């Protein structure tokens, strides 16, 4: 391995492999280091990615080996109500195949891609690794939530960590499987999203794949709030359904459910993907955000900008949206599943607003839709107060992100204002 490069990328998952490829395609010499085998880099399960993220990142849409190629209707079900999102932009992606494709693109662009190399620390432009020291002008930490932490980023608080698990399993009794979904009013191929199944902030997401040979199971919760982990929820559900057979593939892990770190870069190091908490807080999907951030980072450096320019651009373009939904995620953690069901039944949470969350865009209700929601809130004054406060605070946070400071010494004061609006600290 060479001991010098323009850029060192730590982590060869989806965001790390993508930024390595983008930078090398712009003529930079890139070394990408992965502590695991390349085939185990990044997520090894199925993840939802908006098609718009592929377009913005300049990555081709997945072929039939990565995805079945269409967004399927989503049914969100809670006690006392349910909602349907018939049309949205999210594809289910086999992350093993997407990561392999991005790694192949990086190799084709000339990236030096080394696996089973651990990063031990950093001193200015020198990165200490288990394969020897490497020097670079820029260092990109795409090593994940519990990775190298080369910018000394703070640990994510436990109440912002979702313990998720996802598996694809064989179906041993197709008739019983079809009957299970039919009992819930869901056709094969469509997504059944059961909310609050283990109490509070917990979800069980199920999809019987076309043909009925396999089923996708996704679970998630925040254990620090007193709920079983996603892995435990998945095991319990599988044990309760005799039609579910052996595991085909899958995995589990912790996902940060908070806005991106306030400091994403200094003059030498930039954070990317889960390492920077660039994860959509409403549901914990970070693949699309990581691809978009990778493209922004590569374009910034290739056009003569700095790592700090990347950080400012990401926060101003995308940080406000993520922080807006972080406010709603925090609010939803205190709402029980029956209240969510009533909000579905009353139209406060309808297909249009829920689609915005799936697609990772701002909701844009029409005047008629707003009037209907206001009428529904009149009959629920306690809910109206907390929801109105959440909307106002989230909107104010989004406005603050449009003025994210360019000067690093001003970031702490800006950060305190954001924390106060989101209920993290006192003013």
Q: Which residues contact 302 (CB under 8 A, 6 or more apart)?
A: 23, 26, 27, 28
Instruction: Output the pLDDT for position 409.
Output: 96
pLDDT at 426 over 60: no
Quickly state the pLDDT bin for 425 (edges 50, 70, 90).
Answer: low
How far apart are the two ends of the chain, measured CA to CA in Å?
50
pLDDT of residue 349: 86
Half-sphere exposure of 174 (CA within 13 A, CB side): 7
pLDDT of residue 365: 85
pLDDT tens-place string over residues 230-258: 999 999 999 999 999 999 999 999 999 99
More confident residue, 69 or 179: 179
Mean pLDDT of 92-110: 98
Q: What is the DSSP string of 145-196?
A: TTS--TT-PPPPPGGGEEEEEEEEEEES-HHHHHHHHHHTT--TTSEEEEES
Residue-wise pLDDT for 247-297, tens only, equals: 999 999 999 999 999 999 999 999 999 999 999 998 899 999 999 999 999
The more confident residue out of 345 and 47 is: 47
**97-127 b/e (C-beta count within 10 Å ≥ 16 → b):** ebbbbbbebbbebebbbbbebebeebeeeeb
- Give the least confident one: 87-96, 150-159, 362-371, 396-405: 362-371
Residue count (the chain): 427
Least confident stretch, 32-41, 45-54, 373-382: 373-382
Helix (H) or strand (E) holding 22: helix 14-25
Helix, strand, coil percentages (3-state) for the chain, rounded to 5, are: 40, 25, 35
Q: Which pLDDT value is given to residue 72?
A: 96
What pLDDT score was predicted for residue 201?
72
Q: What is the mean pLDDT of residues 63-69?
A: 91
Per-residue model confidence (pLDDT) at position 359: 96
């Amino acid at each position: 391995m060479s001991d010098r490069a323009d850029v060192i990328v730590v982590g060869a998952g989806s965001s790390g492999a993508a930024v390595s490829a983008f930078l090398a395609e712009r003529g930079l010499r890139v070394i990408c280091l992965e502590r695991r085998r390349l085939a185990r880099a990044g997520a090894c399960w199925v993840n939802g990615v908006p098609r718009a993220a592929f377009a913005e990142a300049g990555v081709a849409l997945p072929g039939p080996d990565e995805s079945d190629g269409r967004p399927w209707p989503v049914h969100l079900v809670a006690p006392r109500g349910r909602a349907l999102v018939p049309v949205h932009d999210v594809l289910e992606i086999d992350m093993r195949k997407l990561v392999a494709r991005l790694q192949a693109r990086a190799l084709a662009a000339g990236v030096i891609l080394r696996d089973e190399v651990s990063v031990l620390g950093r001193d200015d432009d020198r990165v200490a690794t288990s394969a020897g020291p490497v020097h670079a002008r820029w260092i990109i930490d795409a090593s994940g939530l519990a990775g190298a932490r080369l910018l000394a980023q703070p640990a994510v608080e436990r109440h912002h960590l979702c313990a998720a698990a996802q598996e694809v399993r064989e179906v041993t009794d197709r008739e019983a499987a079809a009957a299970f979904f039919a009992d819930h009013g869901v056709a094969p191929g469509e997504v059944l999203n059961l909310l609050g199944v283990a109490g509070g902030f917990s979800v069980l997401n199920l999809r019987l794949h076309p043909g009925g040979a396999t089923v996708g199971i996704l679970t998630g919760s925040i254990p620090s709030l007193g709920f079983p982990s996603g892995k435990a929820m998945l095991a319990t559900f599988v044990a309760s359904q005799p039609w579910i057979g052996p595991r085909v593939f899958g995995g589990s892990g912790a996902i940060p459910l908070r806005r991106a770190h306030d400091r994403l870069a200094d003059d030498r190091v930039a954070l990317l993907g889960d390492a920077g908490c660039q994860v959509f807080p409403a549901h914990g999907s970070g693949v699309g955000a990581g691809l978009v951030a990778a493209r922004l980072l590569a374009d910034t450096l290739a056009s003569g900008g700095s790592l700090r320019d990347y950080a400012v651009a990401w926060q101003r373009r995308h940080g406000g949206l993520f922080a807006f939904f972080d406010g709603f995620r925090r609010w939803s953690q205190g709402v029980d599943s029956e209240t969510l069901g009533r909000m579905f039944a009353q139209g406060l949470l309808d297909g249009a607003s829920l689609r915005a969350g799936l697609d990772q865009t701002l909701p844009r209700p029409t005047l008629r839709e707003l009037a209907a929601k206001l009428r529904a809130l009149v009959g629920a004054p306690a809910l109206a107060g907390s929801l109105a406060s959440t909307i106002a605070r989230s909107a104010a946070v989004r406005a603050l992100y449009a003025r994210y400071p360019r000067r690093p010494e001003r970031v702490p004061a800006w950060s305190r204002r954001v924390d106060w609006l989101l209920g993290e600290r006192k003013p």
